[in-house]
Chain A
Amino acid sequence: MSTADYGEILEEVRRLLGRVVKSPVRIEEKTELVNDLGLDSLAALQLVEEVEDAFDISFPLNELSQIRTVRDFVLQIQQEIEA
């Protein structure tokens, strides 16, 4: 992805989360990765691998601790794309 369009990133993150999350939960911007989607530490690490490849970026694992919602995640990805 050459541009850091928020909407496009959100759609891709939704798609990747849909593959990782087992339960059929509607994924919105305010959805919390751990509390709402039940993402455990292992799944979070796998998700980061998928995100890195989808956007061709480096996404340090230490940044995960600051991310609570899907929106936080998308904004951080946007920042990494623009870095």
Chain B
Amino acid sequence: MGLFEKFDAIGLARKALEDLGVDPFNVEMEQILSPTEARIAGREVLLAGTNNYLGLTFDPRCIEAACRATRTEGTGTTGSRMANGTFAGHRALERELAEFFGCPKAIVFSTGFIANLGVISTLTGPGDVVLIDADCHASIYDGCRMSGADILRFRHNSAADLEKRLRRLGDRTKSTLIIVEGIYSMLGDRAPLAEIVALKKQYGAWLMVDEAHSLGVLGQKGRGLAEEAGCLGDVDFIIGTFSKSLGAIGGFCVSSHPQFDLLRYASRSYLFTASPSPATVASVRQALQILAAGTDLRERLWQNAHRLYNGLEELGFSLGSEPTPVVAVHMGSKEETLGAWKQLLHQGIYVNLVLPPAAPEGKSLLRCSVSAAHTEDQITRICSAFRALKE
């Protein structure tokens, strides 16, 4: 036992799931058929829980770019950029990201999680303060913990609660980093960014926005909530990921701060991690071009998001506060929610099961995410499966 005693509760919870004949946190997709379909347990299933917002994972241009990069540059970089060298693609991607956001500099990380760890834990340290929305992602909490800064949190999406906490800090606001998300991953709601920017300015604090779920989704050019809210110039640091709208894996941070590039030399999760592979970099560069070139995918994504949100609302489900491509369905007890999740999968629909503490406010959720690649018929099928839960 010894080291493993602390996992006893997890072991019991997993055993209970196994007794039910299903482990929702370990679903094997035997074959990926398209951005919206996979084979699970021998059956074709419609995917409504992938974060594949623009549906670019099977885009032939992205696939071809990845194949070409693999043939010419190899399968991996085999080390970190600091120790083992930067590939030309890494630099090109950073230039293109910086240009896309209208910032002078970008730094690319190996995952979005690592970007948050690397940026937050390096920017802030003992004596500083991080003031985060209560519903921020685990990578933000972990980055804060690693920093050694004082961690305060404000009630989810409450600018009034944030102001109260800023006021209490007095002069310490000058070394306070406020962190919010563009679209929150579990409930799918936007941060009230204009109000938060006003407070940031009033109190002289710093502001970081994690656009993981809003890149490619919000804003006229798909740059996220900061663009949509007209606040791009007021956000000090934008964090993002390549693993959602851009259909690959990796993360980044952009900033206009003149000393921003120094983070590269101090951020441990940048210094000591293997850099993104040539295939990843090439497909992300291609996906970014597609994202920047047009609005058609975004328009289709939003049509689908409204269609699903409205459909589930008409069925009487209690949903997240606003329609976005993340549609959170509030359910009852853990057991009921698990039963509903299992029934949906039995009907050929895969959604995300979210139980407390991952679900905010101690409530269980069925979380759907919509893709531009979903057809109207597929959205109808998702709604029909939810209707069957009510029968």
Chain A residues proximal to chain B, CB less than 8 Å: 40-42, 45, 49, 52-53, 56-62
B357-A40 in contact (CB<8A): yes
Label chain B's interface by main secondary structure: mixed
Cα distance A62–B128 in the bound complex, in angstroms: 12
Beta-carbon nearest neighbor of B154 in chain A: A49
Beta-carbon nearest neighbor of A59 in chain B: B152
B357 CB contacts on chain A under 8 angstroms: 40-42
Cα distance A52–B154 in the bound complex, in angstroms: 10
If A40-B357, A52-B152, A60-B151 are given as contacts, then 5 extra A-B residue pairs at C-beta distance below 8 Å, sorted by A number, are A41-B357, A52-B168, A59-B152, A60-B129, A61-B153
Beta-carbon nearest neighbor of B165 in chain A: A58
A52-B150 in contact (CB<8A): no
Least Cβ–Cβ distance between A61 and chain B, in angstroms: 4
Beta-carbon nearest neighbor of B167 in chain A: A56
Tell yes or no: B155 within 8 A of A by CB: yes
B356 CB contacts on chain A under 8 angstroms: 42
Chain B 19-37: CB-based contact to A (< 8 A → 1; otherwise 0): 0000000000000000000
B152-A45 in contact (CB<8A): no
A60-B150 in contact (CB<8A): yes
The residue that A49 contacts in the complex, of B129, B151, B153, with Cβ under 8 A, is B153
Interface size on B, residues (CB 8 A): 16
A56-B168 in contact (CB<8A): yes
Smallest CB-CB A-B distances: 3 pairs: A60-B150, A61-B151, A42-B357
Cα distance A58–B172 in the bound complex, in angstroms: 11
Cα distance A57–B148 in the bound complex, in angstroms: 19
Q: Which of A45, A49, A59 has the most CB of B within 10 A?
A: A49
A60-B168 in contact (CB<8A): no
Tell yes or no: B345 within 8 A of A by CB: no
Beta-carbon nearest neighbor of B357 in chain A: A42
B134 CB contacts on chain A under 8 angstroms: 45, 49
The residue that A61 contacts in the complex, of B152, B165, B362, with Cβ under 8 A, is B152
Tell yes or no: B169 within 8 A of A by CB: yes
Least Cβ–Cβ distance between A35 and chain B, in angstroms: 14
Cα distance A44–B155 in the bound complex, in angstroms: 14
B152-A57 in contact (CB<8A): no
A40 CB contacts on chain B under 8 angstroms: 357
Tell yes or no: B145 within 8 A of A by CB: yes
Beta-carbon nearest neighbor of B134 in chain A: A45
Chain B 144-164: CB-based contact to A (< 8 A → 1; otherwise 0): 010010111101000000001
Least Cβ–Cβ distance between A54 and chain B, in angstroms: 12
Beta-carbon nearest neighbor of A55 in chain B: B168
Beta-carbon nearest neighbor of A61 in chain B: B151
Cα distance A41–B155 in the bound complex, in angstroms: 16
B151-A62 in contact (CB<8A): yes
B145-A45 in contact (CB<8A): no
The residue that A62 contacts in the complex, of B145, B164, B168, with Cβ under 8 A, is B145
Least Cβ–Cβ distance between B148 and chain A, in angstroms: 8
Cα distance A62–B164 in the bound complex, in angstroms: 20
A45-B362 in contact (CB<8A): no
- A58-B155 CB under 8 A given contacts A42-B356, A42-B362, A45-B134: no
Cα distance A57–B169 in the bound complex, in angstroms: 9
Least Cβ–Cβ distance between B187 and chain A, in angstroms: 15
B150 CB contacts on chain A under 8 angstroms: 58, 60, 62
B155 CB contacts on chain A under 8 angstroms: 49
Cα distance A61–B159 in the bound complex, in angstroms: 20
- A58-B362 CB under 8 A given contacts A40-B357, A42-B357: no
